[in-house]
Structure 1
Amino acid sequence: MIRFLPLCILFAMPAPADTVVPTRTIRAQSVIVDTDVTLSAAELPNGYTRIADVVGQEARVALYPGRPIRVDDIGPPAIVTRNQLVVINFSSNGLLISTEGRALERGAVGDRVRIMNLSSRATLFGQVRPDGTIQVKQ
């Protein structure tokens, strides 16, 4: 039984995994392409292990070469930028109201952003839709 103890310890240790790291400095709000990243032999609990998961995403913070990319460091690319004119939609019980507004924050599809209704100057919150409009919910 003592002879099997070293084998149990050997198999209980996790195998090292590859982690995605930048090959160059990537500025915040830049979209990551496949030449920007590579795999490095390191293990990080909140890091990416596949390049395909990172390519096409937008850097939320500056990413430096050799440092692992963490889950919170990147996200979907923003389709609404700050100060952009957007269409605001509100719907309730069959009533649809559309008006023009100004985005006060950047946002990707599904993000909750602050917007200003240009006709009333009221500040609202809404969700970014895939077509770039903002859906306001009550």
Structure 2
Amino acid sequence: MLRLTLCWALCAAATPGWAEQLVAARTIRAQTVLAAEDVQVEPGTRAGTFTEPAEVVGLETRVTLYAGRPIRISDLGKPAIVERNQFLPLIFLKGGLTIRTEGRALERAGIGETIRVMNAASKATVNARLAKDGAAYVTQ
């Protein structure tokens, strides 16, 4: 009996305590900016998930979040300021040279994200980083 009690005590000590994870309070469609009431904290652990509501408030869902399921880091991103097919300033920077033209965003994106943009004049596609001002900057 002592051996069984000792074994149980050692197993219990080796088991990590439950941490908390963030789950969706309801089903939330993609491209929704999250508010505090959209999430809830539940016991459990899963790698790559959020643990605090403050971490996700103001972020946008990249996929549909289902009620009661953990919210993964890859499910959220910065709110989009550019929509697919939207025209935007396309700015090429190299050394002291700056070229401004018009481009068309080929995907939705938020500030600081790198997206594909098609040069409206040449139809060439480039990768550009989206700035706070809504312009796409290409640096080479």
Normalised to the residue count of structure 2, the TM-score between the two structures is: 0.87
1:33 corresponds in structure 2 to: 35
Task: Look up the SS of the partner of 1:89 in the other structure.
Answer: strand
1:50 equivalent in structure 2: 52
AA in 1 matched with 2:115: V
Query: 5+ residue gaps in structure 2?
Result: none
Describe how 1:95-114 pairs up with structure 2 within 5 A.
95-114=97-116
Q: CA deviation at 1:11?
A: 3.3
Runs (4+) off by over 3 Å: 2-11
Give the share of equivalent positions with the same residue, in percent: 44
Deviations 1:8-29 (A, max 9, x none): 5433321101111111111111
Partner secondary structure for residue 39 of structure 1: strand
**Match in the other structure for 1:137:** 139
For 1:42 and 1:102, the matched residues in 2 are separated by 43
Residues 1-138 of structure 1 mapped to structure 2, 5 A cutoff: 8-138=10-140
Aligned-residue offset at 1:94: 0.8
| AA in 2 matched with 1:65 | A
Letter in 2 for 1:66: G
**1:67-116 superposed Cα distances (whole Å, 9 cap, x missing partner):** 11111111111111111111111111211111111111111222221111
**Within 2, Cα distance between the matches of 1:98 and 1:84?**
16
CA distance in 2, matches of 1:126, 1:16: 42
RMSD: 1.8
What SS does the aligned partner of 2:112 have?
Answer: coil
Tell me the SS of whatever aligns to 1:31.
coil
SS in 2 for 1:79: strand
Shift of residue 7, structure 1, vs aligned partner? 5.1
Q: How far apart are the structure 2 equivalents of 1:52 and 1:11?
A: 31
Question: What is the total number of aligned residue pairs between the two structures?
Answer: 137
Equivalent residue letter for 2:29: R
SS of 1:110's equivalent in the other structure is coil
SS of the aligned residue for 1:113 comes to strand
